[in-house]
Amino acid sequence: MGSGVKTGNGGFEGRTWWFRLQNLLADSVTGLPTLTGKLGEVREALEKHGNLCLLYVNVPRGVELEKLYGWSFYDEFLKKTSSLLTEFKRNYLGRQDFLLIRDVETSEFVFFIAPGSGSETAEYLDEIELLRQRLLQYMSKEPYVSHGPIKMKNVIHVGCSQAKLVLVERPESSIHYAIEEAKRRTFEEAESESTRFKKLLREVISNERVSVRYQPIIEMRANRTFGFEALSYTEGVPGLEDAEMLFNLAEESDLSVELNRLCRRLALSGARGWPLDIKVFLNTDPRSIEDIGRDDTEFLGLLQDKGVKPESVVLEITERSAITKLVEFKEIIKHFREIGVRIAIDDAGAGYASLNTIASLRPDFLKFDIGLVRGIDKDRVKQELLTTLQNLARKVEARIIAEGIETENEYNTLLGMGVELGQGYFISPPRDPSELKSYVTG
């Protein structure tokens, strides 16, 4: 009997050991081999050629995605990135070259590239630098990765170095040292780029190089203008043309309050002279709402200066930064309502955090997320999600706004389901202030 028990445990332990070994040798998410699994082959290539160049690829903040958006999004992000890297290897590298993930379920990837026959060292290094630039361009061909309602800028950093065979050193040590050297160069370059963009952002804010367009929000059944969402952007500022990148950089640079102040002022300038019943929706992250709430004298003075009544303003809360002190935040929201300002929650239904915010703040408007609107006419699950959100909206006495409507079928489905307010390119793209007269006057 004792022997049988040992055999059973041994079989179970053997299977467990085998699964662990498999996970160690290849990444279960991307399917790419790991450095551990291919180290022997990389060593043989180094011993054969005497040197190997490598490209170290890092997805900045990649490991934070699981904490922010969950493991499903993070896995999808890794799969998309590895797919593009695999395509690049197939199109531009040889069969003898390697593409590895540095360790299982990480956002670090490594190319090991063997020199061509008869290549001079200088030519080889020049080719690697050209490959590095080409890889950066290749990865930018699909600038976003999406999963459900979440959309992220697909940014990578790439550094290069060289592993050399040294007689007094283990080849494995040379390989690991080369990776660390490429990683160091990558982070130095990324830090330099980040510093440059932060300086550029400060210049954008100080020189007010921001413009605003307004996208109509309509009462769908009456086909009547209800308000406009103010959308800020930059023009002629390389690297900051994308609004998502602009505001993410502001958050990382601790400049989000300053950028939001500028965008708020410019947006309200464009709303001067609108009728009282036309709302202006201002995208505002929690930190900026806290900034206004500490002393609303400046905000009320700005409204008076621009000729905009508080009753015409809707602060649209985005979850770019976290609400750290919910009790105090709720008091600020209460004060805004007392002076006539209304509150909207952006991207409602995009995840747990949004639903938690809805329950806590009881906003006046819920914006049904663009990812859930897309294709809702042929997706029963999305229709059920909308019904659930409508029930929640009734309980908190909020009105639903469907954003991102792009087709007539989406529009008709939402209308048939009783959605009151709509926004999207099917209704109208964002407009310059000079184009708004017909919408404002009806």
Length in residues, the chain = 442
DSSP string across 329-386: HHHHHHHHHHHT-EEEEEEETSSHHHHHHHHHH--SEEEE-HHHHTTGGG-HHHHHHH
Contact at 8 Å (CB) between 344 and 317? yes
What is the reported pLDDT for 24? 67
What DSSP character marks residue 235?
S
Q: What are the residue boundaries of the structural domains of the chain, listed by start?
A: 24-198, 210-441
pLDDT tops 50 at residue 4:
no
pLDDT tops 60 at residue 2:
no
- Fold of the domain built from segment(s) 210-441: TIM Barrel (3.20.20)
pLDDT tops 60 at residue 301:
yes
pLDDT band for 263, please (50, 70, 90 cuts).
very high
User: Angle formed by the axes of helices 2-25 and 35-49, to 10°?
Assistant: 60
Q: CB-based contacts of 280: which residues, under 8 Å, 6+ apart?
A: 214, 227, 228, 230, 267, 268, 271, 274, 308, 312, 313, 314
Q: CB-based contacts of 342: which residues, under 8 Å, 6+ apart?
A: 279, 311, 313, 314, 315, 336, 364, 365
Predicted TM-score (pTM) of this structure:
0.66
pLDDT band for 325, please (50, 70, 90 cuts).
confident
From CA 67, how far away is CA 75, in angstroms rounded?
A: 12
**At 16, which helix (H) or strand (E)?**
helix 2-25
From CA 314, how far away is CA 382, in angstroms rounded?
A: 26
Closest among 342, 350, 315 to 151, alpha carbons compared: 350
Which tens digits make up the pLDDT trace of 65-79? Answer: 666 666 777 788 888
From CA 348, how far away is CA 209, in angstroms rounded?
A: 31
pLDDT tops 80 at residue 11:
no
Report the chain's mean pLDDT, rounded to a whole number. Answer: 83
What DSSP character marks residue 26?
B
Paired residues of 112 in beta bridges: 54, 98
Contact at 8 Å (CB) between 29 and 78? yes
Q: What is the mean pLDDT of residues 135-139?
A: 85
From CA 213, how far away is CA 81, in angstroms rounded?
A: 33
Closest among 280, 310, 277, 262 to 215, alpha carbons compared: 280
What is the reported pLDDT for 63? 66
Q: What is the mean pLDDT of residues 119-140?
A: 81
- Burial code (b: 16+ CB inside 10 Å, e: under 16) for 68-102 equals ebeeebbbbbbebbbebbeebbeeebeeebbbbbb
Query: Alpha-carbon dihedral of residues 423, 268, 254, 185, nearest 10 degrees?
Result: 60
361 token code pair: 């703040």
Backbone angles phi, psi at 96, to 5 degrees: -80, -10
Q: What is the mean pLDDT of residues 82-91?
A: 91
Q: Of residues 295 and 400, which shows the higher confidence score?
A: 400
Q: CB-based contacts of 162: which residues, under 8 Å, 6+ apart?
A: 51, 52, 53, 54, 125, 128, 178
CATH 3.90.1210.10 is right for the domain spanning 24-198: no
From CA 305, how far away is CA 314, in angstroms rounded?
A: 18
Contact at 8 Å (CB) between 74 and 82? no
Backbone angles phi, psi at 35, to 5 degrees: -60, -40
